[in-house]
Amino acid sequence: MTDQSKADKSASSDRILIFDTTLRDGEQCPGATMTFEEKLEVADYLDAMGVDIIEAGFPIASDGDFEAVRAVAERVKNATVAGLARAGKKDIARAGEAVRQAVKPRIHTFVSTSPVHMKYKLQKEPEEVLDLVTASVTLARNLVDDVEWSAEDATRTEHDYLCRCVEAAIKAGATTINIPDTVGYTVPEEYFALISMLRERVPNADQVIFSTHCHNDLGLAVANSLAGVKAGARQIECTINGIGERAGNAALEEVVMAMKTRADTLPYRTGVDTTKLARASRLVSTVTNFPVQYNKAIVGRNAFAHESGIHQDGMLKHNQTYEIMTPESVGVGKTSLVMGKHSGRAAFRSKLKEMGYDLGDNAFQDAFQRFKELADRKKHVYDEDLESLVDEGIAHAHESMKVVSLTVIAGTIGPQSATLTLDIDGTHQTVQSAGNGPVDATFNAIKSLVDHQARLQLYQVHAVTQGTDAQAEVSVRLEEDGRVVTGRAADPDTLVASARAYLSALNKLQVKRQKTAQAQQAI
Ligand code: KIV
Ligand code: ZN
């Protein structure tokens, strides 16, 4: 099939391609850094979930980013794997090298087209930028057949000029044209008109797939993406939980479920297995340590909770009274009492399978051991406990500093004190510290073992399930020289969870410091 007929076919099709950029635009936001292993874990899950394109990172940014994109490209079985590149030769070559081994490789190259970006950011004349469009897409096409071109800040770009840029990109061989609302400025009617205008006015527009990429600064990212689809775009760029720069990107779970639930007015299909959405949300939240707001659409913990008496009464009579989609359709099961300390290995494995986890041997052994420890301390182990246990194993697996033991003296007679032993790069170190309360004492102990200047920005505790023996899930956000990281941990003992969360944030900070150092060398 020629490129022309492929594009014609797709424009009239109801199939919407889902381009996930959690690992690139999502990972760019403050505090959402993922380690190499976490990126692979997320990529595997996105592939299994049926995402069409996985944007795995920005290979020129650092050696770590390059290696992660390359490893994702090597292992992903079904999805196209994209690497981002600015319009320069080095960027494009590096992206091409990183995605080379993918079953379906894509280079995604971009340049700013709005007057304010061209003048102040690029300090280039519009004609120079137009030449860059042709040159960059041509370079990328010499490396791969599948090239996406983006007009950064497209929604604040002058229309005639945008048409010329899009036409040039298509002539040079771009197969997808992305129209980003980089600053989250547009509104649905305007974005609909923009995509329609481009499809009508650009002479070779029918040769490519148009794509949406909407940021959420005005809370309109999902509405704008769907308006783009109505205007003929057939690819949506989005992230799990809507994470991304500033207010984030369009949330994958929201665009997918909007089209599934309102097929009457949005008659489009995606390839996403929606029963995997809740787990995807939980996984991304755990590895980025980025909490999901309770009332977040589709995947928030309250998204299917009915609290008021009137609503509960209606639900008991018929679930369609207050439910437009079922919890099961997005993979939210009913809270169930699952396992106890007598449950064996086989039952544990089959329970994890039922919950959508497919762990390798080492990860399984580790999860089983931690499950046994938890079941010894906690009478009832719920699905939520198991989720947090497994996801945390993934998040903490490669940390170089770990909590070995913690004893805290608390109560009405101060000062409270903590005795803490940490494993730092394989060596055990112990300290005793006092503090203004048990949490302060615990954090002081960590500070005296791990030298750092980070400032505590947030300390938050919530219960994973109900009951006084529920696990406490603690989030700790730290800031150092503009770098923001969040650590999270769960344990039936709030202070142990607090120590682990603080240490997890420090581990992330260490990774981030290394990444920044590498990026400064690379760029
Ligand atoms: O928001 C944006 O403009 C981007 C581009 C690099 C596609 O993320
Ligand atoms: Zn973006």
Over the stretch 130-184, which tens digit does the pLDDT of each residue have?
A: 999 999 999 999 999 999 999 999 999 999 999 999 999 999 999 999 999 999 9
Q: 487: part of which helix (H) or strand (E)?
A: strand 483-491
User: How high is the pLDDT of residue 314?
Assistant: 74
Pocket test for ligand 1, best of 112, 114, 165, 182 (most atoms within 8 A of CB): 182
Average pLDDT over residues 42-47: 96
Ligand 1 pocket mutation, candidates 19, 112, 152, 155, criterion most atoms within 8 A of CB: 152
Instruction: Report the CATH number at residue 509.
Output: 3.30.160.270
Whether 137 contacts 173, CB under 8 Å: yes
Look at residue 189 and tell me if it is in a domain.
Answer: yes
Q: Is the CB of 366 under 6 A from ligand 1?
A: no
| Mean pLDDT across 494-505 | 93
What average pLDDT does this structure show over 378-406?
82
Has residue 294 got a pLDDT over 50? yes
User: Is residue 28 domain-shared with residue 81, that is, in the same domain?
Assistant: yes
- Report pLDDT digits (tens) over 458-489: 898 888 777 788 888 888 888 888 887 888 88
CA distance 515 to 176: 31
Helix (H) or strand (E) holding 458: strand 455-463
374 shares its domain with 404: no
Distance 182 CA to ligand 2 centre (A): 5
Does residue 14 sit within a domain?
no
pLDDT of residue 356: 73
pLDDT at residue 488, as a whole number? 83
Place of tokens 């009492």: 337
Structure tokens at 252: 């994958």
Q: What is the pTM of this model?
A: 0.80
Out of 395, 416, 434, pick the residue that ends a domain: 395
Burial class of residue 34 (count of CB atoms within 10 Å of its CB; 0-12, 13-18, 19+): buried
> In percent, how much of the chain has pLDDT > 70?
94
Minimum mean pLDDT among 58-67, 153-162, 245-254, 332-341: which range?
332-341
CB atoms within 5 A of ion ligand 2 belong to 25
Instruction: Determine whether the shortest distance from the Cβ of 182 to ligand 1 is under 6 A.
Output: yes
On whether both 266 and 406 belong to a single domain, the answer is: no
The answer to whether residues 109 and 92 touch, using CB atoms and an 8 Å cutoff, is: yes
Residue having the nearest C-alpha atom to atom 8 of ligand 1: 25
The residue with tokens 């300290």 is 431
The reply to whether ligand 1 has any atom less than 6 angstroms from the CB of 152 is: yes
Would you state the structure tokens that stand for residue 3, as one six-digit string? Answer: 């490129």
Q: Residue 341: pLDDT band by 50, 70, 90 thresholds?
A: confident
DSSP line for 386-408 = HHHHHHHHHHHTT-SEEEEEEEE
More confident residue, 211 or 378: 211
Give domain status of residue 8, yes or no.
Answer: no
Per the structure, how many domains does the chain have?
Answer: 3
How many whole angstroms separate alpha carbon 397 and alpha carbon 287? 11
Exposed / middle / buried, residue 1 (Cβ in 10 Å: 0-12, 13-18, 19+): exposed
Among 447, 444, 473, 442, which Cα is nearest to 460's?
473
One domain for residues 48 and 125 = yes
In Å, what is the CA distance from 27 to each residue of 36, 240, 421, 485?
12, 11, 32, 11
Confidence of residue 53 (pLDDT cuts 50, 70, 90): very high
**Based on the number of CB atoms within 10 Å of its own CB, is 224 exposed (0-12), middle (13-18) or buried (19 or more)?**
buried
Nearest C-alpha neighbor of 391 from the set 289, 287, 276, 504? 287
Q: Is 20's pLDDT higher than 60?
A: yes
The answer to whether the CB of 21 is under 6 A from ligand 1 is no
Atom of ligand 1 nearest to the CA of 84: 6
Q: Report whether residue 25 contacts ligand 1, using a CB cutoff of 6 Å.
A: yes
| Cα 486 to Cα 505: distance, rounded to the nearest angstrom | 5
Q: Which atom of ligand 1 is nearest to the CA of 237?
A: 7
- pLDDT for residue 4: 44
pLDDT higher for 374 or 356?
A: 374
Q: Check pLDDT > 60 for residue 523.
A: no
CB-based contacts of 521: which residues, under 8 Å, 6+ apart?
Answer: none
2: in domain: no
Task: Count Cα neighbours of 262 within 13 Å in the Cβ-side half-sphere.
Answer: 8
- pLDDT for 1 equals 47
Ligand 1 within 6 A of CB of 55: no
Q: Are residues 450 and 338 in the same domain?
A: no
Euclidean distance between CA atoms 85 and 190, whole angstroms: 28
Instruction: Tell me: pLDDT of 441 over 80.
Output: yes
Please indicate whether residue 110, judged by its CB atom, sits closer than 6 Å to ligand 1: yes
Q: Tell me, what CATH number does 274's domain have?
A: 3.20.20.70
**Residues 6 or more apart in contact with residue 239 via CB below 8 angstroms:** 20, 21, 22, 25, 26, 248, 249, 250, 251, 252
DSSP state of 330: G
Point out the ligand nearest to the CA of residue 153: 1
Whether residues 363 and 408 fall in one domain = no
Per DSSP, the residues of 111-136 read EE-SHHIIIIII---HHHHHHHHHHH
Atom of ligand 1 at shortest distance to CA of 249? Answer: 1
**What's the distance, CA 338 to chain centroid?**
29
Mean pLDDT value across the chain: 90
Residue 473 Cβ inside 6 Å of ligand 1? The answer reads no
Short-list 135, 198, 242, 132, CA closest to 211: 198
390 φ, ψ to 5°? -70, -45
The answer to whether the CB of 504 is under 6 A from ligand 1 is: no
Q: Is residue 276 part of a domain?
A: yes
For 287, half-sphere exposure in the C-beta direction (CA atoms, 13 angstrom radius) is 28
Question: Is the model's pLDDT at 436 over the cut of 50?
Answer: yes
pLDDT computed for residue 266 by the predictor: 97
Shared domain for 278 and 415, answered yes or no, is no
H or E segment at 501?
helix 494-522
Q: Is the pLDDT of residue 417 over 60?
A: yes
Weakest mean pLDDT among 285-289, 354-358, 434-438, 456-460 = 354-358
Q: Is 19 in the pocket of ligand 1 (CB under 6 A)?
A: no
Residue 329 has pLDDT above 70, yes or no: yes
Alpha carbon distance 27, 36 (integer Å): 12
Ligand 1 pocket member 150 (CB < 6 A) = yes
Highest mean pLDDT among 8-12, 156-160, 345-349: 156-160
Phi and psi torsions of 476, nearest 5°: -130, 125
pLDDT of amino acid 345 = 85
Q: How do 105-112 and 80-85 pair as beta strands?
A: parallel
DSSP letter, residue 184: S
pLDDT bucket at 200, cuts 50 / 70 / 90: very high
Task: Name the residue with the closest Cα to ligand 1, atom 5.
Answer: 152
Residue 43 pLDDT: 97
CA 383 to CA 251: how far, in whole Å? 25
23 DSSP 8-state letter:
I
Does some domain include residue 426? yes
Q: Looking at residue 9, what is its pLDDT?
A: 46
Q: Which atom of ligand 1 is nearest to the CA of 153?
A: 3
Comparing 166 with 285, the larger pLDDT belongs to 166
Length of the chain equals 523
Domain boundary among 345, 360, 395: 395
- Asked whether residue 517 carries a pLDDT value surpassing 90, the answer given is no
Say which residue, 375 or 22, is predicted with more confidence.
Answer: 22
Given a cut of 70, whether residue 117 has pLDDT beyond it is yes
Q: Are 506 and 487 in contact (CB under 8 A)?
A: yes
Express as a percent the part of the chain with pLDDT over 90.
63
Residues 270 and 322 in one domain: no
Shared domain for 36 and 159, answered yes or no, is yes
The 10s digit of each residue's pLDDT in 55-95 is 999 999 999 899 999 999 999 999 999 999 999 999 999 99
Verify that 55 and 164 share a domain, yes or no.
Answer: yes
At residue 10, the pLDDT reads 58
Same domain, 385 and 405: no
pLDDT at 522 over 70: no
Is 5 domain-assigned?
no
Atom of ligand 1 nearest to the CA of 110: 6
What is residue 218's three-state secondary structure? coil
- Token digits of residue 178: 């992305």
DSSP 69-86: HHHHHHH-SSSEEEEEE-
Asked, for residue 295, whether it belongs to a domain, the answer is no
pLDDT-derived band at 308, boundaries 50, 70, 90 = low
How many angstroms separate the CA atoms of 65 and 35, rounded? 10
Hey, what amino acid is at 325?
M
Q: Which atom of ligand 1 is nearest to the CA of 178?
A: 7
Residue 7 has pLDDT above 50, yes or no: no
Residue carrying structure tokens 């500070």? 447
Residue 211: alpha-carbon gap to chain centroid: 19
pLDDT at 3 (0 to 100) = 46
* Domain end among 335, 365, 395: 395
Mean pLDDT over 396-416 rounds to: 89
Summarize the confidence of residues 267-292 as an average pLDDT: 92
**Spatial CA neighbour of 370 closest among 333, 396, 337:** 396
In whole angstroms, what is the distance from residue 233 CA to residue 240 CA?
20
Q: Does the pLDDT value for residue 290 go beyond 60?
A: yes
Q: Is the CB of 180 under 6 A from ligand 1?
A: yes
- Domain hosting residue 336, numbered range: 309-395
Q: Which of 329, 242, 220 is nearest to 278 (CA)?
A: 329
**Same domain assignment for residues 430 and 364:** no
The residue whose CB lies within 8 Å of the most ligand 1 atoms, and thus the one to mutate among 150, 185, 236, is 150
